[in-house]
Amino acid sequence: MSPRKIRQALAALVLLVVCASAQTASAPQKSVDQRVDELLSKMTLEEKIGQLNQINQGMPTGTVVNGNPVTLNVEQAVTEGRIGSMLNVTGAADTNRLQKIAIEKSRLHIPLLFGFDVIHGYRTVFPIPLAIASSWDPESAKLSAQVAAREATAAGIRWTFAPMVDIARDPRWGRIAEGAGEDPFLGAAIARAYVQGFQGELNSPDHMAACAKHYVAYGAAEAGRDYNSVDLSERRLRETYLPPFEAAEDAGVATFMSSFNTIDGIPASANPFTLRKVLKGEWGFKGFVVSDWNSVGELIPHGVAADGADAARLALNAGVDMDMCSGDYIRYVAGLVKAGTIPESVVDDAARRILRVKFELGLFDHPYTDEKREANDTLTSTNMEAARDIAEKSIVLLKNDKDTLPLSKSVRSIAVIGPLADSQIDMLGNWIGKGEAKDAVTILEGIKAEAPEAKLIVSKGVGVLDPSEEGIAEAVNAARQADVAVLVLGEKGEMTGEAASRAKLGLPGKQEKLLRAVMATGKPLVLVLMNGRPLTLEWEARHVPAIVEAWFPGVQGGNAVARILFGDVNPSAKLPVTFPRSIGQIPLYYNALSTGRPFTDPKAKYESRYLDSPNTPEFPFGYGLSYTKFAYSNLQLSTARLGNTGVIKVTAEVENTGNRAGDEIVQFYTRDLVASVSRPVKELKGFQRVSLRPGEKKTVEFTINRKQVAFWNADMKYAAEPGKFEVWVGPSSMEGLEGSFVLVE
C-alpha cells in the first residue's frame, strides 16, 4: 500500500472513530431501571434465584447429602450464577479474586456484592453506637460511618449490615449497645446520619450500601432476652419502633434486614404486614430486604414453617428478597415456582431490587477495588483523630461532687485500679470489624500521656468476672499510697452485643466489693465505667464522688477519657437511655404513657408506685453534667395558637454561668394533654448543641408545626388533634422551662 493510501486509510479510520464517538456521546444514557430490566430479560429462572442467595465464605451451605450439609463449591457456584452476595470475605485480594470469577466466568457477568458487619468502624474502631448516640451529634455519627466506609471499601466491602436502628428500652438486652437508645426522635436523627455517612454518593468507590436493621421491633424482645418474642400493639409499633427505620428509608438506605423475632405471633422474616404493606407499600422502598442470619430457616422452630421449602415460600412471598445463609432459597425456590406456590413475578421483583442496588453502587462498571487503598486508607492519623474527637463527645459525666474532676496535671501520684484500666481489647467493645486490640490506647496509657510527671501505682484488683478477691488488698494499698484513685470498672466487651443478655445489671464479679474497699481508704476517687448498657448503680451513685460513663470508647478511648479526666476537654454528652435504680424498674423510659393514677403523694397507697423504691430513675434520659454550669431563662412562644398551617417558634436563653467554656445539649419536649388515646408524658421534638464561653448567653430556637404533634389516633389514622400542649426547653427529660400552646382546627 502506498503512503498516500495509508494516509487515506488512517484518515478514514480517524473519521470513523470520531463519528462513532459522536454517536455514543449523543446516545441517551440508559437509566438504572432500564439496565436492570434489560439484564433481567436475559436471565433464566435459576440465574434470578441465584441473585437471591447470600453465603458465608467457608460455611456449609447449599446442599445436603444423607442429612449432612455439604460445603458449597464457591467458585463453581459463582461461575454458574447461583450466588448473588457473600459475607465475611475481607481483604482486597480475596474480594477481587472472587469478583473476577463472577465477572469473567459467569454467563451474564453479574458482580457479587460483598457484605460485612461494619458496625462502629472497620479498622479504626469508634465508640460503640450507644456511646455515639450519647454525643447527640448526628454529624459525629455521619463522620464515623464515612471513615468506616472508606476503610471497608478499600478491602472490597461495598455493603455494611448497619446501622442498627432498633429502639431499646430494656438494658438487659445486649444489643442495646448497637443502637441509639430509647427514643424514636433521637434514634431517627442518628439513623439518617449513619445512612448518609455510609452511602454518600452511592456509586463512589469509597462509599457502601447501608442496611437498616433489624426490621422490626427486635429491641422489644420480652425480658430483654435476645431472639425472644415481641408482643406489642400496632400503635406502639408505628409510634416507637418504626420511626428510625422510616428515617433511614427517607435518607435513601439501600437495604433493610429482617429480624429474628415474632411480632404478634408472626415472625418478622415472614411478615407481609411489615415487609410488603408498610415498607414496600406505604413507604415505597425500592431497595431490597435481606434476612438476618438463617432467620428464614428459623421459621421452622418458630412453628410457622413445616420444612425448608415451606420457610422459603413464606419468607419470599412475605418480602424477604435475599436469604442470608439458610440455603433454603437456593435449594427450594425453583421447585416452588414451578409448582406455582411462589409466583415468578415475586422472584423477578426480588432479583430486580438486588440488581438495582448493584447498579447504583457502580459494581457493573467498576467491580474491583484498588488494592493499594487497603494500606493507604486504614488507620490513618486523620481517622484516629476522628475516633478520639467522637469519643470525647460521647463520654458522659454522671456525677461530680465537690468538683472532684477535673484532676490537676500537677497531681503527684495516681492509683489506677481495675480490670479494665489497661485492657486493650475491651476498649473496643463488641462487633469490632477488623479492629485489632494492639491498636487501642488504654485508659492507663491515656493517663500516662496526660500526666507524665505523676507517679502511677497500678493494680488490677479483681477480674471482671473472676470470683477471686485476692487482689483487693493490693488495690487498697495502692490507693493509700496515692493522692487520688481512678477505678476503671464495668463489663468486658464480649458481655454486650448479640447473645449477651444479662439478668443482673450491677457491676459484675467482685468489682463492687473492690470499689467499696478502695472508697473506705478515704482517698479522693473517680469511677470510670466501661460498659455497653445502662448499669444499676444504687450504691455507687450515693457514695462515689465522681462517675464518668466512658462506654466502650474505641481505639482512641484511652486518650479521650484522660483528656476528660484532666480537663483538656469539657464533657458535654447526654444519656440516650435511662439508667434505672434497680432491675425491678425495667422497662423504664422517659416517654411512658400517662396512667390514671400517677404517683404524686408518697403517703398515698393507691397510686402507680413501688413500695420499696422511688419511681424515678438513677439517671434520666437526656442527663449529663459539665465542668461548667448552664442557666436557662426567658422561654418565649411566638404565638399561643397553632392552626392548620404555620409554625410556632419556641425560644429560650442559655447562659454559661461557670468559669469554663463548654457545650450544652439543649432539649425540646412537648406533651399532648388531652387526646383520643393516652399520650406520653413527654416527647422529644428537637435538640441543639450550643457552645458557650464563660458568661456568654445565646438564644436557642425550636419550631413546632402540626405534623410534629400528629400521632396514630383511636381510629389508627395519623393526625393531629386540637387541644392544649405543654412544651419544655431544658438540659434533660426531667428539667426545663415550661410553656404551653393550643392547637386549633
Q: Residue 484 in contact with residue 526, Cβ under 8 Å?
A: yes
Task: Compute the radius of gyration of the chain from its Cα atoms.
Answer: 28
E strands along 240-382, which residues?
255-258, 262-263, 266-267, 288-291, 323-324
* H or E segment and range at residue 176: none
Integer angstrom CA distances of residue 17 from 9, 20, 21, 29, 448: 12, 5, 6, 19, 68
Interhelix angle 443-450/557-565, rounded to 10 degrees, is: 50
Say which DSSP state 507 is in: -
Peptide bond into 120 cis (omega under 30): no
Strand, coil or helix: what is 488? strand
Of 134, 51, 267, nearest in space to 624 by CA: 134
Residue 503, burial from CB neighbour count under 10 angstroms (0-12, 13-18, 19+): exposed
C-beta of residue 209 within 8 angstroms of C-beta of residue 161: no
The rounded Cα 165 to chain-centroid distance in angstroms is 5
Could you tell me whether strands 662-672 and 723-732 are parallel, antiparallel, or unpaired per DSSP bridges?
Answer: antiparallel
Cβ density class 662-679: b for 16+ within 10 Å, e for less:
bbbbbbbbbbbeebeeeb
Contact call for residues 465 and 477 (beta carbons, < 8 A): no
Residues acting as catalytic residues? 292
Cα–Cα distances in Å, from 124 out to 386, 440, 705? Answer: 9, 9, 41
Reduce the secondary structure of 18-55 to three states and give it as a string.
HHHHHHHHHCCCCCHHHHHHHHHHHCCHHHHHHHCEEE
740: left (phi over 0), alpha (psi -120 to 50) or beta: beta
Contact between 238 and 712 (Cβ < 8 Å): yes
**Dist. CA 424–CA 121, nearest whole Å:** 16
* Cβ atoms 585, 620 nearer than 8 A: no
In whole angstroms, give the CA distance from residue 17 to residue 372: 34
- Amino acid sitting at position 623: Y
- Burial letters for 158-185: b for 16+ Cβ neighbours within 10 Å, e otherwise? bbbbbbbbbbbbbbbbbbbbbbbbbbbb
The crossing angle, in degrees rounded to 10, of helices 511-519 and 472-481 is 30
CB 318 within 8 A of CB 271: yes
At 742 the three-state DSSP class reads strand
Buried b (16+ CB within 10 A) or exposed e, 449-478: ebbeebebbbbbbbbbeeeeeebbeebbeb
**CA 583 centroid distance within chain:** 24
The HSE-up count of residue 260 (CA atoms within 13 Å, CB side) is 17
> How far is residue 317's CA from residue 309's CA, in Å, rounded to a whole number?
12
